[in-house]
Amino acid sequence: MAKRIQFRTHGGPEVLEYVDYQPAAPGPQQVRVSNKAIGLNFIDTYYRSGLYAPPALPSGVGAEGAGIVEAVGSAVTRFKVGDRVAYGSGPLGAYSDVHVLPEANLVHLPDAISFETAAGVMLKGLTVQYLLRQTYELNGGETILFHAAAGGVGLLACQWAKALGVKLIGTVSSPAKAELAKAHGAWETIDYSHENVAQRVLELTDGKKVPVVYDGVGKDTWPASLDSVAPRGLLVSFGNASGAVDGVNLGILAAKGSLYVTRPTLATYANNAENLQRMADELFGMITSGKLKVDISQRYPLADAAKAQTELSARRTTGSTVLLP
């Protein structure tokens, strides 16, 4: 029997259970992966809490990991037993010793990148790839605002932006996190615990504001994000760490300067195996070139997943966190 984390009802971290289960045999187009490391992400807490609905209950948790192929379905062509692989887009159930996934959701993992690095970077790194390279393609010379710059996604964004020649202004919640973001390439930081974000953006940009704001925090930062976007600029709302944005009045977009807003997801960018592998290859290239360093700042045994989620939700983590089977 293998072990996994599951939940039978929605709620806080206390609903997570560490249980025995029998992994399924892979279907014709599926691959069974023996996980060596598993990624921890805010979206995991959204499914657990009920903000997002899982396909069924009881439900597995997690959508990111890395490991070795231990079985393949009869129609699988891209992978064989023994291949090193990584994934960042589910299906749910990554918090487990063994995970069965569609072939199209997996990428080949280069030998130069460890399982822990892959598990700590796939979802976050692919998110940064589509945000900076596709949703609003940065070419260098821009000044941008990126919320939660000391988080897992934020630290990667700081580095990637610097490599592109972009000035990233990052919001943080403490002097220590400001120092961390700057050490990873942020041009400037704003401590939202005591600074007015929109006012500081005005000051840092000589009154011009920024052409794009990347906001993965959601409800708490929405007003400041709107006030930081330059006329005809783009607000990219890609997460809900503080709760979902609701009650949006489209008239505000006109009043703030004919703004654009988008709510992208990884699934619509990595929408087939070829796009997913292409995005992953660019990410892996950034890592192997040394332009992107992945900080695995916390490691927990898989059995301690509830503790790990508690720390994540309380914003007591930095960089990436992995669970180890």
> Domains in the chain: how many in total?
2
Examine residue 287 and state whether it is found in any structural domain, yes or no.
no
Share of the chain above pLDDT 90, in %: 88
Q: Sign of dihedral through CA atoms 129, 133, 135, 138?
A: positive
Task: Please state the separation of Cα 318 from the chain's center in Å.
Answer: 13
| Parallel, antiparallel or unpaired: strands 167-172 and 188-191 | parallel
Examine residue 19 and state whether it is found in any structural domain, yes or no.
yes
* Span between the terminal Cα atoms of the chain, in Å: 13
> DSSP assignment, residue 148?
S
Closest to 239 in 3D by CA, of 137, 127, 325, 159: 127
> DSSP assignment, residue 96?
B
Residue-level pLDDT at 215: 97
Pair (156, 243) in one structural domain = yes
Residue-level pLDDT at 27: 97
Helix, coil or strand: residue 175: helix
Pair (152, 187) in one structural domain = yes
Pair (97, 152) in one structural domain = no
Give the span between the Cα atoms of 305 and 309, in whole angstroms: 6
Pair (212, 315) in one structural domain = no
Pair (103, 158) in one structural domain = no
The CATH code of the domain that includes 86 is: 3.90.180.10
Question: How would you classify residue 209: left for phi > 0, otherwise alpha for psi between -120 and 50, otherwise beta?
Answer: left
Domain boundary among 263, 280, 314: 263
Residue-level pLDDT at 209: 98
Residue-level pLDDT at 275: 97
**CA-to-CA dists, residue 272 to 48, 105, 200, angstroms:** 27, 8, 40
Pair (141, 252) in one structural domain = yes
Examine residue 276 and state whether it is found in any structural domain, yes or no.
no
Give the span between the Cα atoms of 25 and 5, in whole angstroms: 19
Examine residue 45 and state whether it is found in any structural domain, yes or no.
yes
Residue-level pLDDT at 243: 77
Pair (85, 153) in one structural domain = no
- Residues forming a β-bridge with 215: 237
Share of the chain above pLDDT 70, in %: 100
Pair (116, 199) in one structural domain = no
Per-residue pLDDT tens digits for 189-248: 999 999 999 999 999 999 999 999 999 998 888 999 999 999 999 999 998 777 778 888
Examine residue 280 and state whether it is found in any structural domain, yes or no.
no
Closest to 265 in 3D by CA, of 89, 105, 91, 107: 89
Examine residue 209 and state whether it is found in any structural domain, yes or no.
yes
**CA-to-CA dists, residue 50 to 43, 45, 56, 185, 237, angstroms:** 11, 8, 12, 35, 20
Pair (102, 11) in one structural domain = yes
Pair (145, 114) in one structural domain = no
Confidence of residue 138 (pLDDT cuts 50, 70, 90): very high
Say whether pLDDT at 287 is over 90. yes
Give the span between the Cα atoms of 294 and 125, in whole angstroms: 9
Q: Which domain holds residue 9?
A: 2-122+293-323
Residue-level pLDDT at 178: 96
Cis ω for the linkage preceding 54 (within 30 of 0)? no
Give the span between the Cα atoms of 143 and 139, in whole angstroms: 11
Pair (259, 140) in one structural domain = yes
> DSSP assignment, residue 52?
S
Give the span between the Cα atoms of 244 and 52, in whole angstroms: 11
Examine residue 298 and state whether it is found in any structural domain, yes or no.
yes
Pair (60, 164) in one structural domain = no
Residue-level pLDDT at 66: 98
Examine residue 279 and state whether it is found in any structural domain, yes or no.
no
The CATH code of the domain that includes 157 is: 3.40.50.720
